[in-house]
Each structure stands twice: as C-alpha cells, then as structure tokens.
Amino acid sequence: MQQIAQKQKVDPGTTKIEGHLLVKCVDQSGIVSKLSTFLYTHGANIVESSQYSNDPEGGMFFIRLAYHINHQEAVMSNMEKEFEQLAEGYQMSYQFYYPTIKKRAAIFVSKDLNCLMELLWEWKNGDLLMDIPLIISNNEAASHIAEIHNIPFYYIPANREIRAQVEQQQIKLLEKYDIDFIILARYMQILTPQFVARFEHRIINIHHSFLPAFIGADPYSRAYKRGVKLIGATSHYVTNDLDEGPIIEQDVERVDHRDDVASLKKIGGKIERRVLARAVRWHLENRIIVEGNKTIVFH
C-alpha cells in the first residue's frame, strides 16, 4: 500500500474545496461501492468519477474520483487517516490531492523557446493552474522571456562532463523554491539516474517525434531521410531509459514529399506545443495514474 498526499496549504477562507482521490489495486467486486460510501460518510459529494480495469478477472483496477468537501483541516485529515484501513484491506495504492493548492513547476529549457512560449501563454490565460517560481536554462536565449513574465531565470551552462555538478546546483534551486514537478520544454540535456530517481514521475518531457520512432537527437532530419508521411510529438514522464518513459500524450500531422527538414520542424513545433501543454494540464488536474511503463489518463 502506498499513499501520497499533496501538501495542504488551502486558503482558510474557503468553505468548500475540491478533492481528487486516485486509486489503483487488483480488480475485485465492491471497490466502487466502498469508495463511494466512504466519501459519502465523510460528507464528500462526488462530482466526477472515471474508472478503468485492464482485466476484470484479476487484473488491475484504476479510478479517479473528484469530490467537494467542507474545508476543515480536521475533517480532511481524519478522512485521510481513516482511508488507510480501507486501502489496507484492498491493497490499494492511492493519492489524495487538493487542486486549490497550485502545484509549483520549474521549467527547464534550452535554445528552442517554442514550447516555453506556449506554456507561458496557457499559464497567463488561466488554462494551466500552476505556479512557475523559476526557469532554468543552459542557454541565455530565454532570459528576456522570463524577465517579461517576472519569473526568476537561472542560466546554468551544462554538458555531459559537468552533468552531476550542474544537477546539484539545480536541485538546490528546486528545493529553495519548493518545486513539485519539472517541465522539460525542449531542454536538450540528458538527466542522470540520480536526478530522475529524485523526481520519479514528476518530470514531464516533450520529444519531437512520435515515439517509439526516432528516439534521441535530430529526429526531423532522420524522419525526412526516411520519407515519413506522418510526423508527431510525444510527451512522457522521464525515466532512465532515454525517451522511453510512460507516455502521457501524442499527436501527429500528415506531411508529404514536398516537406523538407525546415518545414517538418515548423509543422512539428506546432504539434510539440499542444502535446506538452495537454500533458501538463492533465498532470495538474491529477488525471494520470502510472502503471509500470504505461499511463492511464482520465480525460
């Protein structure tokens, strides 16, 4: 059994807040009824329920419940504590979230500002409900963008020879700003296993290819040489296997023989922007459960 509760710093003036409960366990009869009854007995009103079983006969069961509950620390704390007993009986892994508390995201970026600009636009527009306390880059190209948006910018040159040293600097900043998750908005550096393990399932990457095709660097040139008729982009959680982490979202567009590498990059850039923004939104809305190297995404 595993439980992860989001930090509770809810505005004390709020009388009703929304909660999210994500659960995964071996599929068995009565789970939905047990969960619904549990929330009801604690004064919660379920407003959304999404569930999935990969095999009704002994497979895994996944559910996301969104509910409204009175904002009283004692009520929420007592509910979470009492849920431990129910979870133990069904061997559940579960997470409680309170989206009134905005997640704090650090954006990592290199020279290409395509995805960074989209994220900042969606954030300013109110479509990505998060805080962005800082931007970290191994290139100074994004400094003026950060300044315009009044976001602290940290330029930390990086390469494979000094990777561990650079990551120590980055970790200190992430701790200083109390960061919940990291967005790699075309950050063109490979992360060490130690760094990835520290932020398991909390690093979202955009890869400019429809994975598993063209893993690694320069996928547009390789796609052009291969004569592909579809190009795409993939957003995924980062693991130690390069570009092979659990996929959150993908999209494609059709191309043809008239498209050179430059036009493929232009078309691909549009796909990258929307794919990364959708993946980040679903992470913020607690719509993703990771199972092995796959995800269940409750749209």
Could you give the strand order of the β-sheet that contains 130-137, starting from the edge strand earlier in sequence? 153-155, 130-137, 103-109, 181-184, 203-207, 230-237, 247-254
Range of the domain at 293: 103-297
Same domain for 74 and 45: yes
What's the token pair of residue 231?
Answer: 């190009």
For CA atoms 81, 83, 88, 94, give the dihedral sign: negative
pLDDT of residue 147: 97
Q: Give backbone dihedrals phi and psi of 203, rounded to 5 degrees, phi first.
A: -120, 115
Cα separations (Å) of 267 from 67, 210, 259, 264? 40, 13, 9, 5
Same domain for 198 and 157: yes
Same domain for 270 and 126: yes
Same domain for 253 and 130: yes
Give 233-286 pLDDT, tens digit per residue: 999 999 998 888 999 999 999 999 998 989 988 999 999 999 999 999 999 999
Same domain for 143 and 282: yes
Same domain for 244 and 159: yes
- Boundary-marking domain end, from 72, 97, 122: 97
- ∠114-276-193 over CA atoms, to 5°? 100
Give 11-39 pLDDT, tens digit per residue: 444 578 999 999 999 999 999 999 999 99
Same domain for 258 and 148: yes
Same domain for 280 and 139: yes
Q: Which of 243, 251, 256, 259 is catalytic?
A: 243
Per-chain mean pLDDT for the chain: 91
Residues 187 and 276: beta-carbon distance below 8 Å: no
Rounding to the nearest 10 degrees, give the CA dihedral for residues 168, 146, 274, 49.
Answer: 70
Identify the CATH number of the domain in which residue 25 sits: 3.30.70.260
pLDDT of residue 1: 44
Please determine, for residue 209, whether its predicted confidence score (pLDDT) is greater than 90.
Answer: no
- Boundary-marking domain end, from 97, 122, 137: 97
Same domain for 107 and 93: no
Kind plus residue range of the DSSP H or E element containing 167: helix 163-176
Domain count, the chain: 2
Give 58-99 pLDDT, tens digit per residue: 799 999 999 999 877 878 889 999 999 999 999 999 999 998
Same domain for 234 and 108: yes
Give the separation between CA 216 and CA 224, rounded to whole angstroms: 15
Same domain for 164 and 19: no
Write 55-61 long-range contacts (CB < 8 A, 24+): 55/27, 56/27, 57/27, 58/26, 58/27, 59/26, 59/27, 60/24, 60/25, 60/26, 60/27, 60/291, 61/23, 61/24, 61/25, 61/26, 61/27, 61/28, 61/31
This prediction's pTM: 0.91
- Boundary-marking domain end, from 97, 114, 144: 97
**Which residues are CB-neighbours of 12 under 8 A, at least 6 positions away?**
71
Neighbours of 174 (CB within 10 A): 22
Q: Give backbone dihedrals phi and psi of 268, rounded to 5 degrees, phi first.
A: -65, -35
> Cis bond leading into 152, ω under 30°?
no
At 196, is the pLDDT very low, low, confident or very high (cuts 50, 70, 90)? very high
Give the separation between CA 134 and CA 147, rounded to whole angstroms: 11
Q: Examine the residue annotation and report whether 260 is marked as an active-site residue of this protein.
A: no
Same domain for 38 and 7: yes
Identify the CATH number of the domain in which residue 118 sits: 3.40.50.170
